């Protein structure tokens, strides 16, 4: 059985729940007269999305996208590509839902790919952000928690695909995993 008592709790579920509800209320207020398309970035955001959606009251759709990384044989860096958009987003208000913004590279790719689909507006909601690591200028509209440069797991976030199934957000410690 997976037990997480060895890891230090950074943000307990109770706090996540409370903060997420607040964000949902803010979104309900900001978009009260608009139809919105939420775009959840899988896999990491699935728990945040479901928590958020318990409290979203506006008229909306939700769709899920993925950022696929593959290694470019020509150069050193990974190429990132946004996959899974089947909707017509032209003229629509889109809210991207992410688990964490670290350097901001993933989010900046998501934004630039989305812009090509000519939405009316793109807003960003992320559960976590690591300000000390940010390398891109990302306009974050809704932010759950600002955290230090620790690698975190749980509430959907993983380390090598594991540990998404903790209710609390924990500080990952390789020695204890």
What is the closest distance, in whole angstroms, from the C-beta atom of residue 25 to Mg ion in the complex? Answer: 24
Q: Which residues pair with 70 in a beta bridge?
A: 79
Half-sphere exposure of residue 10, counting CA atoms within 13 Å on the CB side?
19
* Per rule CB under 6 A, count of chain residues that contact ligand IMP: 13
Q: Looking only at residues 132 through 171 of this chain, which bind ligand IMP when binding is defined by CB under 6 A?
A: 151-152, 157-158
Q: From the list ligand IMP, Mg ion, none, which binds 151 (C-beta under 5 to 8 Å, kind-based)? A: ligand IMP
Q: Binding segment for Mg ion among 25-33, 37-45, 50-58, 75-83 (CB under 5 A)?
A: 37-45
Question: Which residue among 102, 113, 150, 158 is the active-site one?
Answer: 102
Q: Indicate whether 44 belongs to the interface with Mg ion (CB under 5 A).
A: yes
Residues 49 and 97: beta-carbon distance below 8 Å: yes
Q: Of the candidates 170, 171, 43, 173, which has an alpha carbon nearest to the alpha carbon of residue 106?
A: 43
**C-alpha distances out from residue 143 to 73, 126, 131, Å:** 36, 5, 11
Q: Indicate whether 52 belongs to the interface with ligand IMP (CB under 6 A).
A: no
Q: Which of 44, 119, 144, 154 binds ligand IMP (CB under 6 A)?
A: 44
Q: Binding segment for ligand IMP among 7-15, 30-38, 56-64, 104-112 (CB under 6 A)?
A: 104-112
Q: Indicate whether 29 belongs to the interface with ligand IMP (CB under 6 A).
A: no
Q: Binding segment for ligand IMP among 9-17, 20-28, 53-61, 97-105 (CB under 6 A)?
A: 97-105
Q: Of the candidates 23, 4, 3, which has an alpha carbon nearest to the alpha carbon of residue 129?
A: 23
Residues near 36 by Cβ (< 8 Å), separated by ≥ 6?
27, 58, 59, 60, 61, 92, 93, 94, 95
6 given a catalytic annotation: no
Q: How far is CA 125 from the centre of its chain?
A: 7
């Amino acid at each position: 059985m997976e037990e997480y008592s060895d890891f230090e709790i950074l943000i307990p579920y109770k706090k996540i729940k409370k903060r997420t509800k607040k964000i949902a209320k803010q979104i309900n207020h900001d978009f009260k007269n608009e139809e919105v398309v939420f775009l959840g970035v899988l896999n990491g955001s699935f728990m945040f999305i479901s928590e958020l959606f318990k409290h979203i009251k506006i008229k909306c759709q939700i769709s899920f996208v993925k950022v696929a990384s593959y290694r470019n044989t020509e150069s050193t860096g990974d190429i990132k590509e946004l996959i899974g958009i089947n909707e017509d987003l032209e003229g629509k208000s889109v809210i991207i839902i992410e688990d964490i913004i670290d350097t901001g590279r993933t989010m900046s790719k998501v934004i630039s790919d989305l812009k090509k689909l000519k939405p009316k507006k793109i807003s960003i909601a992320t559960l976590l952000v690591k300000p000390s690591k940010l390398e891109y200028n990302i306009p974050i509209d809704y932010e759950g928690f600002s955290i230090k440069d620790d690698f975190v797991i749980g509430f959907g976030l993983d380390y090598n695909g594991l540990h998404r199934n903790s209710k609390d957000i924990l500080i990952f410690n390789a020695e204890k995993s």
